[in-house]
């Protein structure tokens, strides 16, 4: 039986280090998604307040002041920083997955906020493993935030950037029956020496997860803008490694086919109509959470303990 819905990925840049302006921009994209009849909208990694590219470009000792700015610009859920986004999701009747740098006290987490089409904050996933220089900026998430969520349009879940390198993290979402996987990424394609190799890596991982998880994948990246680079260069000095450009966003079928895609610096909402019935057809051949699993030989153990306080804790 057909279960058709419309999904979208925001291929756009934030206003780096400006939480208020970027949240307003996110609300504009949500409103546009609503006008286009989109049911699920996915944003890039830490769209609010933007990815801190400087962490890979300058010596750590020079970054204290801008790191403090970044913490200050991060999202405090208990302070109501996501209320405008929740109202926008409800007004547009769109399920939203928003990448945020989430602030809890003086510690921040690289997170995805899942918001229902009625404006309810359904949950937050915190990145469980940080990559390279990210480790001296964000705290680690725990197993309590790793899993699927039921929404008005089906069961969704997500991972952030190189979490997709963690095969067991991907399997955890497969075991949870995620039908639409929401992948939030930055772009490093405009970094000297990476270019197309980065896009190939991301595309390969996303196709692999769609195929092995028998699910749809909605993947969002932002381009890097000259304004973003100027924002951190004004505080840290010039650098030659990162330039404007990059960005690749795409939507994949359970067969790993690209349904919709956009690359490059121009900003847009990419949209595709999908039919969740295609998942069952894929699982007839291989069901990674069922008849194609061998739990008596291979099993996944998860610790769902919340080692960090939840976002709602006072």
Answer yes or no: 45 catalytic.
yes
Count of all residues that appear for the chain in the document: 314
Select which of 27, 45, 163, 215 is catalytic: 45
Answer yes or no: 161 catalytic.
yes
Which residue ranges form the domains of the chain, and what is each CATH number?
A: 4-285 (3.60.110.10)
Query: What would the pLDDT profile of 22-73 be if each residue is shown by its tens digit?
Result: 999 999 999 999 999 999 999 999 999 999 999 999 999 999 999 999 999 9
Answer yes or no: 281 catalytic.
no
- Select from 100, 1, 94 the least CA-distant residue to 40: 94
**How many angstroms separate the CA atoms of 298 and 277, rounded?**
28
> pLDDT band at 313, cuts 50/70/90?
very low
What pTM does this model have?
Answer: 0.95
Select which of 127, 134, 163, 215 is catalytic: 127
**How many angstroms separate the CA atoms of 109 and 215, rounded?**
27
The percentage of the chain sitting over the pLDDT mark of 90, rounded to a whole number, equals 87
Query: What would the pLDDT profile of 97-108 be if each residue is shown by its tens digit?
Result: 999 999 999 999
Select which of 27, 161, 182, 215 is catalytic: 161
Query: What would the pLDDT profile of 220-253 be if each residue is shown by its tens digit?
Result: 999 999 999 999 999 999 999 999 999 999 999 9
């Amino acid at each position: 039986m057909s279960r058709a819905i419309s999904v979208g990925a925001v291929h756009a840049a934030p206003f780096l280090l400006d939480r208020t302006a970027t949240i307003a921009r996110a609300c504009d994209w949500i409103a546009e998604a609503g006008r286009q009849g989109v049911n699920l909208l996915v944003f890039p990694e830490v769209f609010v307040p933007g990815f801190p590219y400087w962490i890979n470009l300058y010596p750590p000792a020079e970054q204290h002041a801008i790191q403090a700015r970044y913490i200050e610009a991060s999202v405090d859920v208990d302070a109501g920083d996501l209320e405008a986004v929740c109202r926008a999701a409800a007004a547009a009747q769109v399920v939203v997955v928003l990448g945020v740098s989430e602030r809890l006290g003086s510690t921040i987490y690289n997170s995805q906020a899942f918001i229902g089409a009625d404006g309810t904050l359904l949950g937050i996933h915190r990145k469980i493993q940080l990559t390279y220089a990210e480790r001296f900026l964000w705290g680690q998430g725990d197993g309590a935030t790793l899993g699927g969520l039921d929404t008005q349009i089906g069961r969704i879940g997500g991972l952030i950037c190189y979490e997709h390198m963690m095969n067991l993290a991907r399997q955890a979402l497969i075991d949870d029956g995620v039908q639409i996987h929401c992948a939030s990424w930055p772009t490093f394609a405009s970094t000297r020496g990476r270019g197309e190799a980065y896009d190939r890596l991301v595309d390969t991982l996303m196709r692999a997860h769609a195929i092995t998880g028998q699910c749809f994948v909605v993947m969002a990246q932002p381009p890097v803008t000259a304004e973003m680079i100027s924002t951190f260069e004004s505080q840290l000095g010039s650098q030659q490694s990162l330039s404007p450009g990059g960005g690749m966003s795409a939507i994949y079928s359970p067969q790993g086919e690209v349904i919709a895609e956009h690359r490059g610096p121009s900003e847009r909402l990419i949209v595709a109509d999908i039919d969740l019935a295609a998942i069952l057809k894929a699982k007839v051949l291989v069901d990674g959470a069922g008849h194609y699993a061998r739990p008596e030989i291979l099993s996944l153990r998860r610790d769902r303990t919340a080692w960090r306080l939840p976002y709602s804790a006072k």
